[in-house]
């Protein structure tokens, strides 16, 4: 019988893993909750991927691609799925986790106003059908995503009132210099710079409040400046979707899954790739995905040829993390009455008296609502240093009927 | 003034802390995690008079009366919700149980109302077709246990009780040892740490009985009462094997809590998918609209089961100065206040409102679980 390799996530990392695993005669299943492969960055499909990566979408004959399928939980050798045909279990011999990342949100006064959105969220809305032409947008927070999305929005006719980056200029320049020797990233940076010529770009600056009647109308910066806008898009970085890895007991360090050079986690037969192991974007995702796909199917030779690129990608990821580390002042933005948990309306003051995340959950319901701590968990970790105590089944909310498995 | 150490800050430990501080004792409560952790954080918080034997009925009824007194002026800190219980009969055999149950309740002046099928559907239209009737017990209610535990603790703290975070690893005569090396001493020690009591006192006849629950998004209009199947006691109290019983609770905020299941000797947190499926299939069978209700999460909790289903309240049979309040199985929220009162009565040599005999820690040899 051939080996069952199951890959969770059809973003760049998962697609690359599927592609390289398909070079063997293993039985490969690629699962994604979305209707289309591509993940965060290539959402919308093949056409959104750079030419050098389009082959990853190729229809390999041995591949079972399961779209609109949520992986709800995992145990040794078994995944629990919610599929369009109802709940199912799936056995695996090798599991490659490529769950990607989501945006980190930090609370500040006014962050719950309508039209205060995540930078990635706004990007997705605009890729959808949100008309942005002529709209005044402030983009604030930290990281390369600010500039990338600002330039995309500008191309679609948005008026970018300001890009507000919390990092000091010297640190930013150091990051820029570190890109020397990385031609794709240099080129990208140059394109963004050109696209954003004449756009006000503030460094060493951050949002202190969003204000408005019924929706955001202006933002306040720490330098005292006020800027009027129709949208405020924030991004404070990304956090990895480690829930499945945690359920399986994979070791985490600083909220990323720990892997060795084969992308192998601390659990037997379980691999992790892409944003899960450290935020590094599409190139890192593709390299790591390919390595895991090869290693999981026994093709060590092919994997070892990618070692140098892997090292470079990881180095970039570390530089990214160090360069855009959040400054401590951002912990002071939320006021006593600022909502931290949006699902259950829990304020900062209610949380300040709690000794731990668990106690906060039990006493204030923080993290117990619809998002299950996906949003406020990242924020409270940053604000209080609390770590999540457990990851519960199901990872995504589903209907009761979707949890009723046929007996096996 | 006498001093006491209470091991465990679940609902029972917090209730005991309040009883003893009010009586003038100097109380130190030791908790390894956070207040209201353990089974208290996991349970359904149904304050229910349960009639599996006279001793259980009296203890739960007394518990309910104390809960009513506690929450009368301040329902909010407990998220107290007077939803009542509706016991649902699916067939003629269960319909016979309705009459029996009603007779028992009436004997103790517990308000209840027999519902025929039409009345049942008038109360709960979401129930599936073809049911024969039910028994409505209007004075049963629901609290949110972790908050109640903290509320009880805060009252105790006002009277001077002290909280120490740490894990008790051994209990000696008049002192306990913590995992960080600290030793704390007192005139008396109360063990109230739920199922983990057997880590400290392996001679106790307590077995783990694990449960799984599911919480949903908000559906405020679906049901009004806590719905329980009439065969609940039969299904829930099998003495071995895994079992499920239909138990559905409307939370005050509109969420639904779906139970229940029982598994012996398991304390891990991994969801048993098969048992979960059985439990949910049963829930959908009673309330078909549940199929499309969205689940937010599932979790497990561990009940501390004694051989006869009654808690152990009183002095350790072989160790003077060591007191027990453990073994509350699936009723420890209901019985927290009544058991704490009965324990304090014994420690203070006061007269008790209930005959204490059935709850005294029994001779350990005879009662070892099979
Ligand atoms: C909102 C957002 C916007 C971004 N925009 C950009 C950008 O413009 N430019 C840029 O360079 N980088 C961007 N990134 C960074 C992006 O994470 C990486 O560039 C790249 O997409 C990472 O690839 P990946 O395969 O590791 O993860 P992802 O691309 O995130 O793919 C993960 C996939 O796994 C699926 N998945 C996760 N969990 C489950 C589950 N339990 N069951 C089923 N499927 C599951 C998801 O649906 C997703 O398709 C963005 C990230 C985010 C979060
Ligand atoms: C799924 C489920 C549903 C239930 N539903 C209901 C219901 O509807 N109605 C009802 O009345 N009851 C219900 N129960 C039962 C009820 O929850 C328990 O009986 C009750 O919570 C027991 O409380 P406790 O304080 O004795 O123990 P626990 O709540 O377990 O508290 C023990 C405390 O001691 C601490 N601790 C443990 N060991 C140590 C140590 N060595 N040192 C220091 N601290 C320690 C723990 O951290 C914990 O905080 C349910 C239980 C479960 C599992």
| Average pLDDT of span B74-86 | 95
B26 neighbors B2 (Cβ within 8 angstroms): yes
The ligand minimizing its distance to the Cα of A288 is 1
From chain A, the residues in CB contact with B143 under 8 A are none
Phi-psi region at A224: left, alpha or beta (left = phi > 0; alpha = psi -120 to 50): left
3-state secondary structure of B224: coil
| Domain count within chain A | 3
Residue B80 included in any domain: no
From chain B, the residues in CB contact with A402 under 8 A are 295
Distances (CA, A) of A30 to A27, A249, A326, B210: 10, 22, 35, 35
B152 and B101 within one domain = no
Name which of A75, A372, A407 is nearest B297 (Cβ-Cβ).
Answer: A372
A190 and A309 within one domain = no
Query: Last residue of some domain: A236, A256, A279?
Result: A236
Residue B365 included in any domain: no
User: How many CB atoms lie under 10 A from the CB of residue A287?
Assistant: 26
A245 and A301 within one domain = yes
Q: Cβ contact (<8 Å) for A363 and B146?
A: yes
Is A13's C-beta closer than 6 angstroms to any atom of ligand 1? yes
What's the gap in Å between the CA of A303 and the closest CA on chain B? 34
pLDDT at B369: 46
Phi-psi region at B368: left, alpha or beta (left = phi > 0; alpha = psi -120 to 50): beta
Q: What is the ipTM of this complex?
A: 0.90
| Average pLDDT of span B60-89 | 96
A212 and A119 within one domain = yes
Reply yes or no on whether the pLDDT at A407 is more than 70. Answer: no
A21 and A127 within one domain = no
B256 and B213 within one domain = yes
pLDDT in tens, A349-385: 999 999 999 999 999 999 988 888 888 999 999 999 9
3-state secondary structure of A306: coil
B218 and B111 within one domain = yes
Reply yes or no on whether the pLDDT at A406 is more than 80. Answer: no
The ligand minimizing its distance to the Cα of B258 is 2
Is A9's C-beta closer than 6 angstroms to any atom of ligand 1? yes
pLDDT at B133: 97
Distances (CA, A) of B167 to A302, B62, B197, B205, B267: 51, 32, 12, 22, 18
pLDDT at A184: 80
B85: which residues sit within 8 A by CB, 6+ positions away?
Answer: B46, B48, B136, B137, B140, B225, B226, B227, B228
Range of the domain at B335: 3-45+145-205+308-359
How many CA atoms lie within 13 Å of B350's alpha carbon, on the beta-carbon side?
Answer: 14
B6 neighbors B17 (Cβ within 8 angstroms): yes
What backbone torsions phi and psi does residue A363 show, to the nearest 5 degrees? -90, -30
Is B7's C-beta closer than 6 angstroms to any atom of ligand 2? yes
| Average pLDDT of span A132-142 | 96
Q: Cβ contact (<8 Å) for B34 and A401?
A: no
From the centroid of its chain, how far is CA A355? 28
**Residue recorded with tokens 């001779």:** B363
B180 and B121 within one domain = no
Is B339's C-beta closer than 6 angstroms to any atom of ligand 2? no
Q: What percent of chain A has pLDDT over 70?
A: 99
Residue B322 included in any domain: yes
| Average pLDDT of span B3-7 | 98
Query: Last residue of some domain: A236, A252, A286?
Result: A236
Report how far residue B54's alpha carbon sits from residue B310's, in angstroms, rounded to the nearest whole number.
11
Residue A329 included in any domain: no
Is B332's C-beta closer than 6 angstroms to any atom of ligand 2? yes
Which chain B residues have any C-beta within 8 angstroms of a chain A C-beta? Answer: 33-37, 41, 146-147, 150, 165, 214, 216-217, 258, 269-271, 273-274, 276-277, 280-281, 283-284, 290-299
Reply yes or no on whether the pLDDT at B171 is more than 80. Answer: yes
pLDDT at A62: 72
- Weakest mean pLDDT among A121-135, A215-229, B45-59, B100-114: A121-135
- Weakest mean pLDDT among A163-167, A184-188, B5-9, B243-247: A184-188
From chain A, the residues in CB contact with B294 under 8 A are 397-400
Partner B contacted by A249 (CB < 8 A) = no
B340 and B224 within one domain = no
What's the gap in Å between the CA of B296 and the closest CA on chain A? 5
Report how far residue A143's alpha carbon sits from residue A237's, in angstroms, rounded to the nearest whole number.
6
Q: What percent of chain B has pLDDT over 70?
A: 96
Partner B contacted by A76 (CB < 8 A) = no
Average pLDDT, chain A: 93
pLDDT at B368: 46
**Residue recorded with tokens 């219980």:** B85
pLDDT band per the 50, 70, 90 thresholds, residue B52: very high
DSSP B283: H
B347 and B218 within one domain = no
pLDDT at A59: 65
A210 and A255 within one domain = no
pLDDT in tens, A69-109: 999 999 988 999 999 999 999 999 999 999 999 999 999 99
B298 and B321 within one domain = no
We report the CATH number of the domain holding residue A295 as 3.50.50.60
Reply yes or no on whether the pLDDT at A23 is more than 60. Answer: yes
Reply yes or no on whether the pLDDT at A67 is more than 60. Answer: yes
Reply yes or no on whether the pLDDT at B203 is more than 50. Answer: yes
A232 and A128 within one domain = yes
The ligand minimizing its distance to the Cα of B196 is 2
pLDDT in tens, B11-43: 999 999 999 999 999 999 999 999 999 999 999
Is B150's C-beta closer than 6 angstroms to any atom of ligand 2? no
**Nearest atom, ligand 2, residue B33 CA:** 47
| Mutation for testing the A interface, residue in B218, B246, B296 having most A CBs under 10 Å | B296
pLDDT band per the 50, 70, 90 thresholds, residue A198: confident
A185 and A198 within one domain = yes
Probe target for ligand 2 pocket from B8, B67, B325, with the most ligand atoms within 8 Å of CB? B8
Q: Cβ contact (<8 Å) for B283 and A405?
A: no
Helix (H) or strand (E) holding A256: strand A256-257
* Nearest Cα residue in chain A from B282: A404
Range of the domain at A388: 334-408
B39 and B152 within one domain = yes
Name which of B36, B273, B294 is nearest A398 (Cβ-Cβ).
Answer: B294
Report how far residue B243's alpha carbon sits from residue B209's, in angstroms, rounded to the nearest whole number.
11
B191 and B179 within one domain = yes
A405 and A308 within one domain = no
| Domain count within chain B | 2
pLDDT band per the 50, 70, 90 thresholds, residue A186: confident
Query: Last residue of some domain: B290, B305, B320?
Result: B305
A84 and A22 within one domain = yes
Residue B364 included in any domain: no
B277 and B149 within one domain = no
Is A237's C-beta closer than 6 angstroms to any atom of ligand 1? no
Q: Cβ contact (<8 Å) for A397 and B294?
A: yes
From chain B, the residues in CB contact with A407 under 8 A are 274, 277
Residue A263 included in any domain: yes
Residue B74 included in any domain: no
> Which pair of tokens denotes residue B1?
């003034």
pLDDT band per the 50, 70, 90 thresholds, residue A197: confident
pLDDT at A179: 83
A210 and A119 within one domain = yes
- Weakest mean pLDDT among A220-224, A286-290, A297-301, A377-381: A377-381
Residue A327 included in any domain: no
User: How many CB atoms lie under 10 A from the CB of residue A205?
Assistant: 19
3-state secondary structure of B63: helix
Alpha carbon of B140 to ligand 2 centroid (Å):
20
Q: How many CB pairs under 8 A join A and B?
A: 85
A208 and A247 within one domain = no
Partner B contacted by A356 (CB < 8 A) = yes
pLDDT at A43: 83
The pTM of the full predicted model, rounded to 2 decimals, is 0.92
What backbone torsions phi and psi does residue B244 show, to the nearest 5 degrees? -130, 150
Residue B269 included in any domain: yes
**Nearest atom, ligand 1, residue A32 CA:** 44
Residue B179 included in any domain: yes
B317 and B301 within one domain = no
pLDDT at A389: 72
Q: Is B370 exposed, middle or buried (0-12, 13-18, 19+ CB in 10 A)?
A: exposed
pLDDT at A61: 66
- Weakest mean pLDDT among A182-196, A197-211, A269-283, A344-358: A182-196
Residue A250 included in any domain: yes
Helix (H) or strand (E) holding A235: strand A231-235
Query: Last residue of some domain: A182, A216, A236?
Result: A236
Residue B51 included in any domain: no
B216 and B123 within one domain = yes
Residue A302 included in any domain: yes
DSSP A361: H
What backbone torsions phi and psi does residue A191 show, to the nearest 5 degrees? -65, -45
We report the CATH number of the domain holding residue B129 as 3.30.9.10
pLDDT in tens, B248-297: 999 999 999 999 999 999 999 889 999 999 999 999 999 999 999 999 99
Cis before A394 (ω within 30) = yes
pLDDT in tens, B299-309: 999 999 999 99
Reply yes or no on whether the pLDDT at B184 is more than 60. Answer: yes
Residue A326 included in any domain: no
From the centroid of its chain, how far is CA A303? 25
């Amino acid at each position: 019988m051939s080996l069952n390799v199951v890959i969770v996530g059809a973003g760049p990392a998962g697609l690359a893993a599927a592609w390289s695993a398909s070079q063997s005669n293993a039985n490969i299943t690629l699962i994604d909750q979305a209707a289309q492969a591509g993940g965060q960055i290539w959402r919308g499909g093949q056409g959104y991927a750079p030419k050098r990566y389009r082959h990853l979408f190729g229809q390999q004959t041995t591949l079972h691609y399961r779209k609109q399928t949520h992986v709800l939980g995992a145990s040794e050798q078994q995944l629990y799925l919610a599929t369009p045909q109802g709940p199912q279990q799936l056995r695996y011999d090798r599991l490659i986790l490529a769950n990607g990342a989501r945006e980190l949100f930090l609370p500040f006064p006014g962050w719950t106003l309508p039209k205060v959105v995540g930078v990635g969220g706004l990007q997705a809305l605009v890729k959808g059908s949100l008309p942005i032409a002529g709209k005044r947008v402030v983009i604030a927070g930290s990281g390369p995503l600010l500039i990338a999305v600002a330039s995309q929005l500008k191309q679609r006719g948005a008026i970018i009132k300001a890009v507000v980056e919390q990092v000091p200029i010297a640190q930013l320049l150091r990051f820029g210099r570190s890109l020397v020797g990385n031609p794709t990233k240099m080129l990208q940076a140059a394109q963004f710079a050109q696209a954003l010529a004449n756009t006000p770009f503030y460094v060493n600056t951050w949002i202190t409040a969003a204000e408005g009647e019924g929706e955001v109308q202006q933002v306040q910066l720490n330098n005292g400046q006020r800027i009027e806008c129709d949208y405020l898009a924030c991004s404070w970085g990304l956090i990895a979707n480690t829930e499945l890895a945690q359920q399986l007991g994979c070791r985490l360090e600083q909220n990323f899954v720990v892997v060795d050079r084969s992308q192998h986690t601390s659990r037997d037969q379980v691999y992790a790739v892409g944003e899960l192991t450290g935020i590094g974007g599409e190139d890192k995702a593709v390299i790591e995905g390919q390595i895991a796909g090869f290693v999981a199917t026994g093709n060590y030779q092919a994997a070892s040829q990618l070692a140098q690129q892997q090292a470079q990608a990881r180095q970039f990821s570390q530089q990214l993390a160090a360069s855009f580390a959040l400054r401590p002042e951002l912990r002071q933005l939320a006021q006593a009455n600022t909502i931290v948990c949006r699902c259950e309306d829990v304020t900062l003051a209610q949380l300040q008296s709690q000794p731990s995340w668990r106690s906060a959950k039990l006493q204030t319901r923080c993290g117990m609502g619809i998002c299950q701590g996906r949003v406020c968990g990242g924020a409270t970790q940053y604000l209080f240093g609390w770590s999540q105590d457990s990851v519960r089944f199901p990872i995504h909310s589903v209907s009761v009927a979707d949890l009723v498995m046929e007996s096996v | 003034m006498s001093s006491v150490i209470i091991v465990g800050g679940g609902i029972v430990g917090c209730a005991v802390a309040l009883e003893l501080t009010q009586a003038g004792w100097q109380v130190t409560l030791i908790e390894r995690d956070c207040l209201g952790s353990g089974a208290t954080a996991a349970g359904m918080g149904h304050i229910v008079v349960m009639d599996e034997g006279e001793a259980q009925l009296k203890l739960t009824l007394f518990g309910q009366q104390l809960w009513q007194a506690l929450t009368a002026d301040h329902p909010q800190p407990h998220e107290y919700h007077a939803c009542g219980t509706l016991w649902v009969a699916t067939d003629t055999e269960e319909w016979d149980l309705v009459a029996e149950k009603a007779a028992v309740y009436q004997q103790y002046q517990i308000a209840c109302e027999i519902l025929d099928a039409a009345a049942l559907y008038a109360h709960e239209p979401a129930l599936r077709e073809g049911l024969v009737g039910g028994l409505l017990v209007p004075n049963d209610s629901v609290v949110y246990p972790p908050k109640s535990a903290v509320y009880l603790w805060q009252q105790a703290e006002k009277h001077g009780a002290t909280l120490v975070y740490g894990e008790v690893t051994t209990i000696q005569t008049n002192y306990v040892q913590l995992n960080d090396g600290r030793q704390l001493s007192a005139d008396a020690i109360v063990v109230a740490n739920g199922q983990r009591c057997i880590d400290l006192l392996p001679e106790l006849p307590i077995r783990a009985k694990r449960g799984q629950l599911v919480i949903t998004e908000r559906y405020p209009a679906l049901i009004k009462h806590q719905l329980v199947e009439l065969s609940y006691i039969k299904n829930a109290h099998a003495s071995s094997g895994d079992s499920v019983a239909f138990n559905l609770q409307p939370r005050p905020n509109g969420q639904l809590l779906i139970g229940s299941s029982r598994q012996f000797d398991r304390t891990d947190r991994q969801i048993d998918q098969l048992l979960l499926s059985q439990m949910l299939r049963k829930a959908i069978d009673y309330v078909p609209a549940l199929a499309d209700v969205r689940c937010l999460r599932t979790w497990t909790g561990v009940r501390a089961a004694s051989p006869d289903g009654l808690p152990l309240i009183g002095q350790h049979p072989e160790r003077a100065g060591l007191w027990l309040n453990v073994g509350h199985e699936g009723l420890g929220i209901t019985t927290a206040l009544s058991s704490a009162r009965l324990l304090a009565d014994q420690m203070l040599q006061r007269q008790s409102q209930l005959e204490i005999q059935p709850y005294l820690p029994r001779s350990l040899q005879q009662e070892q679980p099979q």
